[in-house]
């Protein structure tokens, strides 16, 4: 929520006992959609800022960290990622990164709130540059129901680019949902989901990994990366695969990727999969 000084936007993280603030110039947009309140601010140093229900979603300055780590590790782990489904991802940044991969034949974005996408097209056009790509398709509806209705072995990579596990997104962190993902993924299928802060949210990450294992995924790997505007400044994405993820990683392809990135490369991929000691202890 906004702080006492009207020139700052502040989000408090009660579980972490901390807060993060950005200096703002003006509010660009404010609406209550069918599902949530969406605000956009112009900040002094982080470009445009999107806030949903009082929580920072992204800024123009640092979103590349999240979007690249939500897409490239999974796509470079699958041997031939042609059919991609993004659950959530309404700002379209993950879709943009996915479509940098020439081998992708079809990328479907399943977002419950169309207004997030339309507002992003207006205030974050750099994230939406691939929206007119003929390989891109949009479905505005419930991602959980979409997965239930999807055909067996019809998808290569599932990217769950969701908000925190509250409200409509809560069902995306359950064993029942992961069972549907397991069914929909093909033989070498890879699932990746944003998994909050390892410093603040092991109470989310640990049950999430266990639910993936119970759903039948043979290998689980959590990737760590910085994200300044999210609680603690340290974020994660968790991959689940039908086969061993480390050996499936196409390191040479990542090293020689034919497209630009700001953060991700083959060395970052290896480094991000190295977990700190406290993380190993927390999983025991």
- Strands 18-32 and 8-13: what pairing? antiparallel
Structure tokens at 63: 């979103």
Q: What are the residue ranges of helices labelled H in 49-160?
A: 63-75, 93-98, 114-123, 143-149
Catalytic residue among 62, 113, 161, 219: 161
**Is 161 noted as a catalytic residue in this protein?**
yes
Whole-angstrom CA distances from 103 to 35, 82, 110, 130 are 35, 6, 20, 15
Q: Where are the alpha helices (DSSP H) in 76-215?
A: 93-98, 114-123, 143-149, 175-184, 202-214
The structure tokens 């949903």 sit at: 52
Report the DSSP pairing between strands 55-59 and 48-52: antiparallel
Query: Three-class SS of residue 105?
Result: coil
Catalytic residues: 161
């Amino acid at each position: 929520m906004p702080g006492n000084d009207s020139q700052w936007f502040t989000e408090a993280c009660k579980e972490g006992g901390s807060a993060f603030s950005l200096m703002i110039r003006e509010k660009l947009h404010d609406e209550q959609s069918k599902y949530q309140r969406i605000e956009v601010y112009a900040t002094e140093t982080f470009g445009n800022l999107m806030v949903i229900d009082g929580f920072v979603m992204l800024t123009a300055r640092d979103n590349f960290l999240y979007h690249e780590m939500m897409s490239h590790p999974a796509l470079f782990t699958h041997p031939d990622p042609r059919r991609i489904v993004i659950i959530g991802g309404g700002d379209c940044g993950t879709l943009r990164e996915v479509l940098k991969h020439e081998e992708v034949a079809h990328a479907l974005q399943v977002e419950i709130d169309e207004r997030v996408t339309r507002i992003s097209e207006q205030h974050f056009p750099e994230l939406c540059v691939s929206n007119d790509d003929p390989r891109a398709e949009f479905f505005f509806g419930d991602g959980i129901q979409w997965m239930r209705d999807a055909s067996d072995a019809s998808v290569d990579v599932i990217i769950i680019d969701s908000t925190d596990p509250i409200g409509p997104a809560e069902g995306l962190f359950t064993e029942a949902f992961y069972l549907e993902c397991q069914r929909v993924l093909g033989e070498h299928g890879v699932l990746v989901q944003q998994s909050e802060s390892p410093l603040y949210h092991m109470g989310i990450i640990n049950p999430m990994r266990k639910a993936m294992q119970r759903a039948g995924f043979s290998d689980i790997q959590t990737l760590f990366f910085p994200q300044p505007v999210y609680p603690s400044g340290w974020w994660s994405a968790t991959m689940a695969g039908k086969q061993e993820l480390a050996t499936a990683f196409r390191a040479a392809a990542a090293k020689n990727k034919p497209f630009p990135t700001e953060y991700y490369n083959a060395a970052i991929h290896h480094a991000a999969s190295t977990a700190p000691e406290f993380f190993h202890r927390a999983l025991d």
